[in-house]
Amino acid sequence: MLIVLAILSDTHLHTPMYCFLANLSFCDICFTTTIIPKMLVNIQTQSRAISYAGCITQMFFFIIFATLGDFLLAVMAYDRFVAICHPLHYMVITNSHFCVQLILVCWVIGVLKALMQSLLVRRLTFCTYLEIPHFFCELNQVVHMACFDTFLNDLIMDVAAVLLAGGPLSGILFSYSKISSSICTISSTQGSYKAFSTHASHLLTISPFYGTTLGVYLSASAAPSSALTAAASVMYTMVTSMLHFFIYSLKNTVMKRAIKRLLFPK
């Protein structure tokens, strides 16, 4: 929330990079809010019950914001790629109209994926009382608790994992490989070290997110233990959201100044 408010209040931060960062921060807020409050209530009341409608709703919003965060990370990597590898064309390529279009596309893909997966779950038949070995209604776990043929659901989940997670990941790796090549041409040792440090930090936040997410969704055939799956899910549902704040703001001098002005106005 600090990042969003700082960017909105500082006109100097109304640029494509910080616009994407504000959307990623908002996505992190919604993503964790979909899961953490219910989990805390379960811990406090010692009641782990959730209604069928509540489970489907939680799953729907979880998929939206997980997919949105996935694509926003790819868009931010592309933004950095253009800024570093094509600096003279940066203002032309990443104009405000194009940035708004990119953000809208990310939202539309997230909503469409959530609708498709939720409707596919609705067609399944479940027992009256179902125990999900997880701390939230995670799609893969719910599907495999069904008393129904889940072949179509498994197929769609695998295809979505490859296209809607593997696609952005490929774009991120391509962007950062090109960025690394450009950084290597910097003659200044101090400048190249600073650039490598910044982008290594960004990759540090991306790696656990993609590693644990793909591990959870693509390991259904291996039948992983529920404890291992839950532990991996904690990483991409909570830890990476906290890392975003430290990496994108506390390691960013401009963001630190904006947050200080927000918290301690003159």
pLDDT digits 0-9 by tens, 152-181: 998 998 888 888 888 898 999 898 888 888
Is 90 exceeded by the pLDDT of residue 67? yes
Q: Which CATH number is 172's domain given?
A: 1.20.1070.10
In the block, tokens 């009641």 appear at: 47
pLDDT attached to residue 235: 78
Neighbouring CB atoms inside 10 A of 19's CB total 19
**DSSP label at residue 163:** I
The whole domain housing 242 covers 2-263
pLDDT tens digits along 107-139: 999 999 999 999 999 999 887 778 888 889 988
Rg (CA), the chain: 20
Domain count, the chain: 1
